[in-house]
Structure 1
Amino acid sequence: MVRQLLDPANAVTATGLGLSALGIHCAIAGFPEIGVAVALWALLADHLDGVVARRTRGRRAETCHVGKNLDSFADLVSAGVFPAVTSIIVGHGSALSVAAGTILVLASALRLSYFNVFGSPGGRFIGVPTTYVVPVTAIIFLLRPIIPEAIFPNLFAVVLIVVAILHIAPLRVPKTAGVMYFVITAFCVAASIMLATRGLA
């Protein structure tokens, strides 16, 4: 099994999964902004592994299948479990934060399972991709200083519920391509620096 991680694309995916676990640890330790910053780098790894996979010659079919499943698990952790745990932490275990986290994880798992079976017909995703929740989470935390702390946890929980619904909604979403890769990369780098700086202050 470990030999599958010698594949460059799978190694990148595993790195992203490790970053997601680190982000969860940061949130639990009381540093959610740093956790979100780390999760943004997990998102970058998710975008990079596909590029690496397409440029790696001679990949065995078994390695590709392992990579596809590993990528789905990594997405579930970074875009499902991490935001859910963060919501519960900032919400101090409120009923709304627990409900939001549960709904998000279930919707993420269903969305990823559906994608693994049906793919993206016509070159478009069905439902909003799970990874979208990571930059949405980053935006919410970037705005945290101007949001009254009394409503921030509930606002974050509601946003996660809305995104969860969009995951399984019958929407046709274009794939990320071209200049959007650079936009996402620039946002992830800039936002992660800002959040990490704030978290360490």
Structure 2
Amino acid sequence: MLKYLWDPANAITIGGLLFSSASLFFALSEQIDFSIAAALWAVLADHLDGVVAARTRNRDRDVAKIGKSLDGFGDIIYGAVLPAANVIQLSQASVLALATATTLLVAGATRLSYFANFGRSPDGRFLGVPLSYDVPLLALFLLLQPMIPGESFALIVNICFLLLAIAHVAPLRVPAPSAPAYAAISVFAVAASASLASRGL
């Protein structure tokens, strides 16, 4: 079973899961800045494993199948579980946060199940907003937090993530990011991670 992890792309996916584990630990320890800083590296790993998989020549079919499933499990963790856990912590485990977290998890599982069976639309677009938007958006909120009134911050975050959860399963045609867009997301993830980590020290 473990032999399938020696594949370069699958090893990167496992690396992303390790960052997700660290992120969950920090979230449960109420260290939100560190949690999102680690989660951003899980996002980067998710972007990179697909690139590596596409460029790996003569990749074994079974290795590719394991990689596809592994990637899906990684997506639900960093794309839904981690945002849900952090929203709950940011909101001090409010009833609204429970509703937001539940909606994120259900929407995330539904979207990934659909994508696993049907993939992208014939025109190459995604149906619904991908889960990879969640962690960068939460990072942006945290970076902007000093400019948002404290009493309304949690409410704004919950409303935005409830809307985002709906967008995950809405009949929206979302174009796949271009190479420059992936580069911009990667630069933002690295810079935001560094900023949040330094702020958490």
Interval containing the TM-score (normalised by the shorter chain): over 0.9
Q: How many aligned residue pairs are there?
A: 200
Structure 1 position 112, deviation (Å): 0.6
Residue 167 of structure 1 is matched in structure 2 by: 168
Query: Does structure 1 residue 128 correspond to structure 2 residue 129?
Result: yes
TM-score normalized by the length of structure 1: 0.97
Describe the superposition over 1:127-149 as per-residue Cα deviations: whole angstroms up to 9, x where unpaired.
00011111111111111111122
Residue 188 of structure 2 is matched in structure 1 by: 187
Residue 117 of structure 1 is matched in structure 2 by: 117
Describe the superposition over 1:12-55 as per-residue Cα deviations: whole angstroms up to 9, x where unpaired.
01110110111111111121011111111110000000011011
Residue 27 of structure 1 is matched in structure 2 by: 27
CA distance in 2, matches of 1:64, 1:19: 22
CA distance in 2, matches of 1:93, 1:181: 34
**For residue 80 of structure 2, what is the amino acid of its counterpart?**
G
Aligned counterparts, 1:1-201, within 5 A: 1-121=1-121, 122-200=123-201
CA distance in 2, matches of 1:148, 1:14: 38
Structure 1 position 157, deviation (Å): 1.4
RMSD (Å), alpha carbons = 0.9
The runs of 5 or more residues in structure 1 that have no matched partner are none
Structure 1 position 89, deviation (Å): 1.1
Q: Spell out structure 1 runs of 4+ moving beyond 2 A.
A: none
CA distance in 2, matches of 1:159, 1:69: 29
TM-score normalized by the length of structure 2: 0.97
CA distance in 2, matches of 1:27, 1:142: 16
**For residue 139 of structure 1, what is the amino acid of its counterpart?**
L
CA distance in 2, matches of 1:137, 1:169: 20
Secondary structure of the equivalent of 2:151? coil
Describe the superposition over 1:38-77 as per-residue Cα deviations: whole angstroms up to 9, x where unpaired.
1111100000000110111121111111111111110100
CA distance in 2, matches of 1:10, 1:158: 35
CA distance in 1, matches of 2:198, 2:148: 19
